């Protein structure tokens, strides 16, 4: 019943880039090399990625693109409704491509850090019902399940142990600004 979603990346990238360009024109904003590169990488990567992640990926090839621009471009995608921001338990802001009517929740593995999306109509209905019975009118919800995925088992064993939280971030690494 909870249907796994097809990865939002992969196809439709050029269509989305079109949508962005339309948005830019409508608002009197400009198309730039940087925006194109960033958006392409973002859409290609798929989702649940931080500005930092994208910045790192991109700056391997394009040392001249700064973190700030990546950050701003991602915000732009949010404004143009081509992406959404999400903040999970590690308190990092992640972005994911958004397609129109899209609505889903997340399963987050505490072992490997993987994030799986799911959709469940019954859940949605139940949420509505609960809200209604309390006199609420819901406009949004947030639902995250934390646990261990199949590969990571149920506890300390297995898993790639992706850090994720800032508590135990191992890499020192300062100053995210480039140059």
| Sites of contact with its own copies (CB under 8 A) | 1-2, 4, 87, 89, 91, 107, 109-110, 116, 118, 120, 122-123, 126-127, 129-131, 133-150, 153-154
Q: Which is nearer to its own copies, 56 or 125 (CB)?
A: 125
Q: What is the CA radius of gyration of the chain?
A: 18
Residue 35 interaction partner, one of DNA, its own copies, none, beta carbon < 5-8 Å per kind? DNA
Minimum distance between the CB of residue 71 and DNA, rounded to whole angstroms? 5
How far is 37 from 46, CA to CA, in rounded Å? 14
How far is 98 from 45, CA to CA, in rounded Å? 13
Minimum distance between the CB of residue 103 and DNA, rounded to whole angstroms? 23
Residue 118 interaction partner, one of its own copies, DNA, none, beta carbon < 5-8 Å per kind? its own copies
Among 50, 84, 120, 127, binds DNA (CB under 7 A): 50
The answer to the question of residue 65 lying near DNA (CB under 7 A) is: yes
The answer to whether 69 and 36 have CB atoms below 8 angstroms apart is no
55 CB burial (10 A radius; 0-12, 13-18, 19+): buried
Dihedral pair phi/psi, residue 53, rounded to 5°: -55, -50
Among 13, 19, 24, 112, binds DNA (CB under 7 A): 24
Residue 80 interaction partner, one of its own copies, DNA, none, beta carbon < 5-8 Å per kind? none
Q: CA-CA-CA-CA torsion for 126, 152, 58, 84, nearest 10 degrees?
A: 10
């Amino acid at each position: 019943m909870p249907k796994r979603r097809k990865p939002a990346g992969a196809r439709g990238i050029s269509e989305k880039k079109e949508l962005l360009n339309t948005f830019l024109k409508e608002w009197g904003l400009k198309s730039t090399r940087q925006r194109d590169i960033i958006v392409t990488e973002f859409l290609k990567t798929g989702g649940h990625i931080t500005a930092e992640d994208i910045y790192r990926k991109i700056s391997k090839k394009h040392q001249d693109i700064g973190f700030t621009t990546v950050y701003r471009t991602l915000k732009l995608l949010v404004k143009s409704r081509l992406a959404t921001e999400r903040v999970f338990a590690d308190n990092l802001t992640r972005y994911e491509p958004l397609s129109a009517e899209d609505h889903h929740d997340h399963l987050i593995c505490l072992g490997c850090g993987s994030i799986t999306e799911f959709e469940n109509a019954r859940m949605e209905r139940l949420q509505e019902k609960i809200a209604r019975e309390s006199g609420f009118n819901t406009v949004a919800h947030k639902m995250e399940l934390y646990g261990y995925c199949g590969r990571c088992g149920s506890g300390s064993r297995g898993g790639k142990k992706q850090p994720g939280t800032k508590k135990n971030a191992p890499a020192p690494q300062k100053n995210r600004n480039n140059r």
